């Protein structure tokens, strides 16, 4: 079913197709990559390499297979046929036209590895995440409260067909663990991996401690590192890295763990309603996860791929998120509280002392945005599209 919600990244996709000979669209499974590609590049033939029959035919004679598409095509889940990249390189080198092939994939590691080896300099990159608040808002599909948004998550099929998020997520996790995880790495004990996924959910928004997770599961730290790579490559989690610009020598060096979709996070935590979310002991971390991921989506959709950071030192000074805009570092604090009070902006005190003149933004769970003293903007969660 074609989504009625316009994807914000569509403009960027068209732009890259006019700039490069090929475009890659990567992101989580079911994030709408195929729909986007077919919508933006309507005239191009569509080929799904996830179809075993198509994959087998293409694999027998890749050169002959690609000759069927002299003006290019959309190649869906292209990482399923890694050998195709060498042939694509030759095709793209022989023909200088822009936007010939559109490659999609739900496996960042396999796809990026092949692209960097064969197609570097010939291809523009897009990362498509599930629906953002901005996209849902534009389509007038935003519910009245943020908690409903957080529990539902952003996967297009849930919104387009009005599905039950919990039931959809149960199927998604089962399919993901049974199929995609095995494709990425030979994991013998899927039960341990599923427990590991649940443990990650319980640590969302926290500093990553690989040794502690390894001890809880009963495996070594190297295994946990490999499993984290699986979750990162398939767009389940991302690691927010610490800001290393030396304010002092006691900066925490561990990254923080977040989920790309809070609907999936809530499902793994057993949260099935907005009311249950509000009462959950991890509510603050889940709200923070939603805000940071929304900012990440806004940047990806605008073609901005620079990393985001957080700051924390051993004395307890902390900023939830640091990002750059027009060469300026912006400090963002995130609080789930519904009402503003001065305690919410206390974290900025150390930062402003060491980085005078920095723009500071508080994003909180209230409904009203306003400018506070010391140049600090207090933004309602509804204004997250502004960042």
Domain hosting residue 104, numbered range: 10-127
Residues 248, 174 share a domain: yes
- Asked whether 343 and 314 are in contact (CB, 8 A), the reply is no
Residues 288, 156 share a domain: yes
Q: Across the chain, where does the E strand assignment appear?
A: 22-26, 46-48, 74-76, 101-105, 123-127, 237-242, 256-259, 309-312, 318-325, 328-335, 359-364, 370-371, 376-380
For residue 2, pLDDT beyond 70: no
CA distance linking residue 287 with residue 147, whole number of Å: 8
CATH number, domain with residue 92:
3.40.50.300
The residue among 94, 127, 160 that closes a domain is 127
Q: Do the domain assignments include residue 25?
A: yes
Q: Do the domain assignments include residue 135?
A: no
Residues 27, 118 share a domain: yes
Q: Do the domain assignments include residue 4?
A: no
Helical segments of 304-378, H only:
348-354
CA distance linking residue 363 with residue 294, whole number of Å: 12
Task: Judge residue 178's burial from the number of C-beta atoms within 10 Å of its C-beta, 0-12 exposed, 13-18 middle, 19 or more buried.
Answer: exposed
Residues 156, 279 share a domain: yes
Confidence grade of residue 248 (pLDDT, cut at 50, 70, 90): low
Q: Do the domain assignments include residue 221?
A: yes
Token digits of residue 5: 């919600």
Residues 364, 319 share a domain: yes
Residues 201, 159 share a domain: yes
The residue among 127, 162, 197 that closes a domain is 127
Residues 279, 154 share a domain: yes
CATH number, domain with residue 157:
1.10.10.10
Of the candidates 18, 214, 8, 21, the residue with the CA atom closest to the CA atom of residue 100 = 21
pLDDT in tens, 150-168: 999 999 999 999 999 999 9
3 state DSSP class of 251: strand
Confidence grade of residue 31 (pLDDT, cut at 50, 70, 90): very high
For residue 1, pLDDT beyond 50: no
Of the candidates 74, 76, 100, the residue with the CA atom closest to the CA atom of residue 89 = 100
Residues 157, 118 share a domain: no
Residues 257, 234 share a domain: yes
Q: Do the domain assignments include residue 372?
A: yes
Q: Do the domain assignments include residue 132?
A: no
Look at residue 347 in the predicted model and tell me its pLDDT.
87
Range in 122-126, 161-165, 251-255 with the lowest mean pLDDT? 251-255
What's the number of domains the chain is made of? 3
pLDDT in tens, 197-216: 999 999 999 999 999 999 99
Q: Do the domain assignments include residue 5?
A: no
The residue among 293, 323, 346 that closes a domain is 293
Q: Do the domain assignments include residue 40?
A: yes
CA distance linking residue 2 with residue 323, whole number of Å: 34
Residues 289, 316 share a domain: no
Range in 12-21, 108-117, 132-141, 262-271 with the lowest mean pLDDT? 108-117
Look at residue 305 in the predicted model and tell me its pLDDT.
82
Residues 289, 175 share a domain: yes
For residue 366, pLDDT beyond 50: yes
Residues 90, 188 share a domain: no
């Amino acid at each position: 079913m074609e989504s009625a919600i316009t994807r914000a990244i569509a403009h960027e996709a068209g732009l890259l197709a006019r700039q490069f000979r090929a475009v890659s669209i990567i992101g989580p499974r079911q994030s709408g990559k195929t729909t986007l590609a077919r919508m933006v590049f309507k005239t191009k033939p569509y080929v799904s390499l996830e179809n075993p029959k198509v994959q087998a035919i293409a694999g027998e004679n890749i050169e002959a297979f690609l000759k069927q598409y002299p003006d290019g095509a959309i190649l869906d889940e292209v990482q399923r046929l890694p050998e195709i990249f060498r042939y694509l390189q030759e095709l793209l080198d022989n023909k200088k036209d822009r936007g010939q092939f559109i490659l999609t994939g739900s496996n960042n590691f396999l796809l990026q590895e092949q692209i960097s080896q064969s197609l570097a300099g010939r291809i523009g990159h897009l990362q498509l995440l599930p629906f953002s608040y901005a996209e849902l808002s534009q389509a007038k599909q935003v519910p009245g409260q943020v908690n409903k948004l957080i529990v539902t998550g952003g996967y297009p099929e849930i919104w387009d067909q009005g599905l039950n998020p919990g039931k959809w997520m149960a199927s998604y996790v089962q399919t993901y663990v049974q199929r995609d995880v095995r494709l990425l790495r030979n994991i013998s004990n899927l039960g341990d991996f599923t427990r590991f996924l649940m443990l990650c959910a319980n640590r969302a928004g926290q500093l990553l401690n690989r040794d502690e997770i390894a001890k809880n599961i009963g495996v070594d730290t190297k295994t946990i590192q490999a499993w984290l790579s699986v979750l990162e490559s398939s767009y389940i989690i991302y690691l927010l890295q610490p800001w290393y610009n030396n304010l002092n020598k006691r900066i925490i060096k561990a990254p923080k763990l977040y989920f790309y979709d809070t609907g999936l996070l809530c499902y793994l935590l057993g949260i099935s309603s907005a009311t249950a979310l509000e009462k959950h002991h991890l509510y603050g971390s889940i709200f923070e996860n939603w805000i940071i991921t929304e900012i990440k989506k806004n940047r990806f959709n605008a073609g901005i791929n620079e990393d985001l950071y957080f700051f924390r030192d051993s004395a307890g000074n902390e900023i939830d998120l640091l990002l750059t805009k027009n060469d300026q570092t912006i400090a963002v604090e995130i609080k789930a509280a519904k009402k503003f009070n001065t305690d919410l902006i206390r974290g900025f005190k150390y930062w402003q002392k060491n980085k005078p003149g920095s723009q500071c933004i508080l994003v909180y769970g209230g409904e009203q945005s306003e400018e506070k003293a010391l140049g600090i903007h207090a933004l309602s969660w509804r204004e997250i599209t502004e960042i």
